[in-house]
């Protein structure tokens, strides 16, 4: 018991001398290529799907998630009943149990924009805004001058009243801007 107490006290003393912060670098510039330009329109998908498990009352259930969905309750053909009030909406997906072992499922897929910049320093920056997409939609493969910031997790340690960087880890990149340097040769 004494050893655990000593270990706990040492760990608390060490952690009290450390501070973790997330920081941004100054703006950096690098040559890059517009590796991918992608856009997909928003759409709504609707389909009829079979209900996998139905309990003894004719309600859809899932044995992995519902505590009251027991194996002896399974009946793969629902009892005839039409109830449109069994409706749920999760993350843009709506499901309505129509009874008779069938459910109507509607899924909303939002509009998506993506521009991928591949740098010559072996990292990519992905930007998902419509403005950047519109700027580069006709320039796939073009060379660009890319402005970005490094996002870092920095651990500071304090010893003898002085604070110094114990470790620094790059955790991501923040897009600032890009300007076209040269167009790819078109055949």
Tell me which long-range contacts 15-18 makes (C-beta under 8 A, separation of at least 24).
17/157, 17/158, 17/159, 18/155, 18/156, 18/157, 18/158, 18/166
Q: What's the predicted TM-score (pTM) here?
A: 0.62
Domain ranges of the chain: 17-41+111-182, 43-109
Q: How far apart are CA 23 and CA 12, in angstroms?
A: 25
Closest CA to 25 of 112, 129, 153, 125: 153
Q: Are 30 and 148 in contact (CB under 8 A)?
A: yes
Strand partners, 146: 30, 178
Report the C-alpha gap between 105 and 87 in whole angstroms: 10
The structural architecture, per CATH, of the domain 17-41+111-182 is Beta Barrel (2.40)
Q: For 102, list phi and psi in degrees, rounded to 5.
A: -130, 145
Q: Which helix (H) or strand (E) holds 173?
A: strand 162-182
How many CB atoms sit inside 10 A of residue 116's CB? 17
Would you write out the chain's pLDDT as a tens digit for each of its 187 residues? 566 666 765 555 555 578 899 999 999 999 999 999 999 999 888 887 776 665 556 566 665 555 555 555 444 444 433 344 444 555 566 766 666 667 777 888 889 999 999 998 889 999 999 999 999 999 999 999 999 999 999 999 888 888 888 899 999 999 999 999 877 655 4
| Inter-residue contact 79 to 102 (CB < 8 Å) | no
CA distance 56 to 98: 16
118, β-bridge pairs: 33, 124
**Spatial separation of the C-alpha atoms in residues 142 and 184, rounded to whole Å:** 5
């Amino acid at each position: 018991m004494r050893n655990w107490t000593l270990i706990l006290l040492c760990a608390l003393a060490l952690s009290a001398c450390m501070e973790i912060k997330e920081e941004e670098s100054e703006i950096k510039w690098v040559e890059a290529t517009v590796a991918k330009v992608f856009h997909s329109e928003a759409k709504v998908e609707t389909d009829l799907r079979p209900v996998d498990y139905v309990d003894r009352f004719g309600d859809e259930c899932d044995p992995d998630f519902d505590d009251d969905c027991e194996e002896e309750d399974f009946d793969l053909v629902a009892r005839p009943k039409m109830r449109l009030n069994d409706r749920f909406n999760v993350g843009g997906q709506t499901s309505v149990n129509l009874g008779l072992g069938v459910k109507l499922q509607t899924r909303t897929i939002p509009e998506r924009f993506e521009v991928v910049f591949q740098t010559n320093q072996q990292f990519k920056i992905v930007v998902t805004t419509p403005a950047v997409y519109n700027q580069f939609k006709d320039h796939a493969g073009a060379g660009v001058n890319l402005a970005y910031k490094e996002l870092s997790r920095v651990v500071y340690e304090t010893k003898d009243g002085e604070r110094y960087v114990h470790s620094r880890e790059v955790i991501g990149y923040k897009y600032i801007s890009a300007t076209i340097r040269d167009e790819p040769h078109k055949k």
